Amino acid sequence: MSEFDLIARYFVRPAHPKSRAMLGIGDDCALLLQQEGMQTAISSDMLVEDRHFFAGADAYKLGHKSLAVNLSDLAAMGAEPVAFTLALSLPNAEEQWLAEFSAGLFALADEHNCELIGGDTTKGPLNICITIFGQTPIGTALRRDTAQVGDDIWVSGTLGEARLALGAIRKEYELNAKALNAAAVRLHTPQPRVALGLALRGVAHAALDLSDGLIGDLGHILKKSGVGASLNVDALPAGAMLQKQPTETRRRFTLAGGDDYELCFTAPVSRRDAVLGAALAADTPVTRVGTIEAAPGTRLLDSDGKALDLQLASFDHFA
Amino acid sequence: MSEFDLIARYFVRPAHPKSRAMLGIGDDCALLLQQEGMQTAISSDMLVEDRHFFAGADAYKLGHKSLAVNLSDLAAMGAEPVAFTLALSLPNAEEQWLAEFSAGLFALADEHNCELIGGDTTKGPLNICITIFGQTPIGTALRRDTAQVGDDIWVSGTLGEARLALGAIRKEYELNAKALNAAAVRLHTPQPRVALGLALRGVAHAALDLSDGLIGDLGHILKKSGVGASLNVDALPAGAMLQKQPTETRRRFTLAGGDDYELCFTAPVSRRDAVLGAALAADTPVTRVGTIEAAPGTRLLDSDGKALDLQLASFDHFA
């Protein structure tokens, strides 16, 4: 199978019924026309074997996750998905792998009306690089540098279960099969919170998505906004399987687990009802977990408001 | 050095004086606003060690080439460079490598007023994935599917010297140091024909950039346009060092060398003066090398118009 056959067979699809691309796969560039009054949100994520996923990972789920982590970046900006490019380095052109990978990729892409418009295919160590394009009305994007003192801090869904699954797969501890399977869904097939991101436009002050763990990721909002925070650690929503773990594990994994792909956002106290309305409209649970404060740094408190001293590190590829 | 230090030190720069990004590096997404009447041209290229470049390749030149191959895709669409994202997988965070790579990247980026607006950094086998954004007035992009029977076929610059250098480096044959150095410039630091691409808007019918070799790349224009071609093989412009090689080598490398990053385009016979004017305005030589014909396939002719029977293959990553 040649490079061009591979692209034609697994990545070129019939004309998209709602295509917003003026020219898609097969030319030197794709052409995209921005709708009037809109700005384009752009994000790139690169997934590397043995780093972001295990060698031999299920190809369907890998296709899903590769796009999901990018959709999650759009969600964090309150941007509506439009299109994406896929650059793929493959050790060899294995037909079954390609069929499964592309099926997982396109199932999620179709769910979000997000069209593949171009990319690159090459031989090499397995590496998946997606660049995604979304749109927001000009001035409505949810940024990191706009948190304000007094804002509530919220997170969507539950945290820490992707980390719980990862630890069990790495044999750090044992989980029974039922618990592992439930937690592994969060690790392998995260659901990007696109609907919530859209519903939070005009409601949230600042937002980002949680990929490296809440404590580190929230730190980006704090630094860019020039503020600090206190977090009620015991209010952090843990998944059902993580709730059964010891308190220390629950605290550590919800605070610094990584791979959550939930949204963390801040909103004024006066907009609590609006936040809950957005969550309802997006059918996505949200939990209030802390407060933006003027004093720099993050203060971790237990359910009684007492300071917790936890040793935590956010994920860093080069630390 | 942490991942965030690495990005801050080598890839975040002072605010761009002519920035067209509304939000750059450091948020979940970058934000780009399209100018009125413009469409966005988008291309992704992935460069893999031992595939697109040798292990231990000069980092400055690699930074140049990584962006050059993407700029070349914009040139082939007649698009003006605007911005790019960079996703980088690195075995380790070597400061000298990063300093040189980013210097080579930004030197070329600045030459083309093309701003880095986001990306990703991860640990893994060396892999460089750039997604580039350019703009053209709506309806003016140079496509592959618009060649017409009777069009002249043109190429810019000279062909085959990148392949000449590659063969010498691979010890397929010997070249003296002067010849190798001259040819290697074409292999390691290709100059994207952006100015020519812009000047050919409204003049050329179809265009693409030459990365896998003329014979294969021209085939994309022919297939998409539903036409064929005859090529005067001995009219193909060879670089000074390649001109000194045996006829068979010259023919083979100009036709199917790869890594040329010149433009191949078609234009009506009536626009020959306009093509030459565009070449003059862009300070880029062009050569007329063939004709678009109705009969499918590519007919290779020598300087006397006699059919040549050459065994050639275009580069294919999975062939």
Measured CA to CA, the distance from residue B61 to residue B189 in angstroms comes to 6
Return the residue in A9, A10, A12, A29 with the most chain B beta carbons within 10 A, the one to mutate for interface testing: A29
Whether the per-residue pLDDT at A211 is higher than 80: the answer is yes
What pLDDT is recorded for position A313? Answer: 67
Closest partner residue to A29 among B1, B79, B118, by Cβ? B79
Which residues fall within 8 angstroms of residue A148, CB to CB, at 6 or more apart? A205, A225, A227, A266, A268, A292
Helices B214-225 and B247-256 cross at an angle (nearest 10°) of: 40
| Lowest mean pLDDT, pick from B244-248, B272-276, B287-291 | B244-248
Q: Which residues of B touch A76 (CB under 8 A)?
A: 28-29
User: Chain-wide mean pLDDT for chain A?
Assistant: 93
pLDDT at residue B312 in the model? 72
Q: How confident is the model at residue B17 (pLDDT cuts 50, 70, 90)?
A: low
Residue B310 confidence (pLDDT) above 90? no
Q: Which of B45, B71, B92, B129 would best serve as a mutation to test chain A binding (most A beta carbons within 10 A)?
A: B129
Q: Is pLDDT above 80 for A316?
A: no
Choose between A317 and A26: higher pLDDT: A26
CB-nearest to B34 from A40, A51, A318 is A40
**CA nearest to A208, candidates B27, B3, B121, B5:** B27
Q: What is the pLDDT of residue A34?
A: 87
Q: What is the predicted pLDDT for the residue at B133?
A: 96
Q: Which residues of B touch A129 (CB under 8 A)?
A: 44, 46, 87, 120, 127, 129
User: Does residue A17 surpass a pLDDT of 80?
Assistant: no
Q: For the residues B236-262, what does the mean pLDDT come to?
A: 94
A44, B124: Cβ pair inside 8 Å? Answer: no
Least confident of A109-123, A134-148, B1-15, B66-80: B1-15
pLDDT surpassing 80 at residue A260: yes
Q: Which CATH number fits domain A3-137: 3.90.1150.110, 3.40.50.300, 3.30.1330.10, 3.40.50.1820?
A: 3.30.1330.10
> What average pLDDT does this structure show over B160-183?
94
CATH 3.40.50.2300, domain A152-301, yes or no: no
Q: What is the pLDDT of residue A314?
A: 65
Helices (H) and strands (E) in chain A, counts: 10, 12
Q: What is the model's pLDDT at position A185?
A: 96
Answer whether residue B22 shows pLDDT above 70.
yes
Task: Give residue A9's pLDDT.
Answer: 85
Q: Is the pLDDT of residue B316 over 70?
A: no
Averaged confidence pLDDT in chain B = 93
The answer to whether the Cβ–Cβ distance between B39 and A45 falls below 8 Å is: no
Is pLDDT above 70 for B319?
no
**Inter-chain CB proximity B31 and A42 less than 8 Å:** yes
Residue among A92, A148, A152, A99 at smallest CA distance from A122: A92
Task: Please give, rounded to a whole number of angstroms, the shortest distance from the CA of A4 to a CA of chain B.
Answer: 8
Say if the Cβ atoms of A51 and B123 lie within 8 Å: yes
Contacts for A123 with CB less than 8 Å, ≥ 6 apart: A89, A90, A91, A92, B48, B51, B317, B318
Task: Determine what percent of chain B falls in helix, strand and coil, rounding each to the nearest 5.
Answer: 35, 25, 40
Contact at CB, B77 and A1, closer than 8 angstroms: no
Report domain extents, chain A: 3-137, 152-301
A100 vs A19, which has greater pLDDT?
A100
A&B contacts, CB < 8 Å: 232
Residue-wise pLDDT for B189-245, tens only, equals 999 999 999 999 999 999 999 999 999 999 999 999 999 999 999 999 999 999 999
pLDDT-above-70 percentage for chain B: 97
Amino acid at B17: P
Q: What order do you get walking across the sheet with B286-293 strand by strand?
A: B206-209, B263-267, B152-156, B286-293, B228-232, B297-301
Q: Which residues of A touch B3 (CB under 8 A)?
A: 316-319
**Closest in B27, B43, B131 to A44, CB measured:** B131
Q: Do B29 and A145 touch (CB under 8 A)?
A: no
Predicted confidence (pLDDT) per residue in B28-55, tens digit? 999 998 888 999 999 999 999 988 998 8
Q: Is the pTM of this model over 0.90?
A: yes
% residues pLDDT > 90 (chain A): 82
What pLDDT does residue B14 have? 76
Beta carbons of B30 and A49 less than 8 Å apart: no
pLDDT for the residue numbered A106: 96
Q: What is the pLDDT of residue A144?
A: 96
| Predicted local distance difference test score (pLDDT) of residue B13 | 82
Q: Does B140 score more than 90 pLDDT?
A: yes
- Residue of chain A nearest B123, judged by CA positions: A317
